[in-house]
Structure 1
């Protein structure tokens, strides 16, 4: 019995790959239909499947942060977050230390 030629084997491979792709498409379509039926039966949405709870509204304004530094001359304060205020930048340029203003 002669062995099949390369062209015959490639044709068989192509036919098998087509059968595999068709079977995968069919199985996927069946799975989608089952999922849709279950969703309809239980009243589920895509958001329910994602497992995310509805977002809770965030509180307005956020939390206040306690001041860490104070200018003894004016009483102005800085929390240590964000840009340094002009009064502190000027004092540091004049040779003062940040620790001089710690509360």
Structure 2
């Protein structure tokens, strides 16, 4: 009978192999879809997608564009989450966020 550690190593190997097979299948599906779109003259908008084809993400995301600049050169994109301290302090001081728009 196999030990727990041996079974866990085997499971990890199988998961890695499954992910490789999944990625190959995804690549084949995407190639097939692109070929059919070209054949029929379809765009991403025609099938309810984005206006321009996007590449699959590798996990890393780019930085958002700067929308606000603070009095000491600090920047903020205005995205989700907590506001930077300089924004919070400016708002408490009675300033408006629009005062810092780039």
TM-score (norm 1): 0.46
TM-score (norm 2): 0.46
**Larger C-alpha radius of gyration, 1 or 2?**
1
Larger relative helix fraction: 1
